[in-house]
Amino acid sequence: MKIAVLAVQGAFIEHERKLEALGVSCVELRKAEDLNQSYDGLVLPGGESTVQGKLLRELGMFDTIRKQIQEGLPVLATCAGMILLADSLEGDATVHLQTVPMVVKRNAYGRQLGSFHTEAEFKGIGEIPMTFIRAPYVSEVSDGVEVLAVVEDRVVAVRYGKQIALAFHPELDEDQRVHEEFLRMCGEK
Ligand code: GLN
């Protein structure tokens, strides 16, 4: 199995380490030509969504990635990645890939609570550690979007078709179960 990791900005190395520890080979997507190969899944890492969205457009990667996701490429998106997938952002006219019908609120936990760690139930997996860094949350979901985790009444993980979007960073914790779940989804035909 081969997993593509968007590597234009942000915390992509941590995902690669996690996936490689699970025995999977990774390819970094840095430019348009990198999209002309086959891979079984795509990771959209955390970082800064505005910068990532701008780079995707400037590097000529935006339309191809969007099309690949719409055609069913499995995606694991964390934090800034979740923002990229949102259909719209609360209080912000910016939009990016728009492949998940949900509204996301950026930097939703304010300055004081910019970063925190907790443990909470993740549907189908059980209790997992969750690290939040200037995290978004999902403020609205449309039909067909499955809620996978809720922390303090806020939706922090969803699945829509083969897209999993998380407000937190499973690549920064020891636990491997979210990545295993993603790989299982990538292996389904
Ligand atoms: N606050 C960032 C954004 O809006 C996301 C933070 C993260 O990815 N850790 O893009």
Give the model's pLDDT for residue 113: 59
26 has catalytic annotation? no
109 or 160, higher pLDDT? 160
What DSSP designation does 124 have? Answer: T
Tens digit of pLDDT for each residue in 6-41? Answer: 999 999 999 999 999 999 999 999 999 999 999 999
Tell me what pLDDT residue 151 has. Answer: 95
Q: Which residue has the tokens 């990538």?
A: 186
Percent of the chain scoring above 90 in pLDDT: 94
Kindly give the pairing relationship between strand 41-44 and strand 100-105.
Answer: unpaired
Mutate to test the pocket of ligand 1, among 111, 133, 156, 173 (most ligand atoms within 8 A of CB): 133
Q: Which residues pair with 160 in a beta bridge?
A: 163
Which tens digits make up the pLDDT trace of 78-132?
A: 999 999 999 999 999 999 999 999 999 998 876 655 789 999 999 999 999 999 9
Looking at domain 2-187, does it have CATH number 3.40.50.880?
yes
Q: Mean of the per-residue pLDDT values for the chain?
A: 96
Q: Spot the catalytic one: 16, 169, 181, 186.
A: 169
| Domain ranges for the chain | 2-187
132 vs 65: CA distance, rounded Å: 26
- What is the structure's pLDDT at 107? 87
Give pTM, 2 decimals: 0.96
Residue 115 in contact with ligand 1 by CB distance below 6 A: no
Neighbours of 47 (CB within 10 A): 22
Give me the pLDDT at residue 95, please: 97
Q: How many residues does the chain have?
A: 189
- Report the distance separating Cα 39 and Cα 50, nearest Å: 25
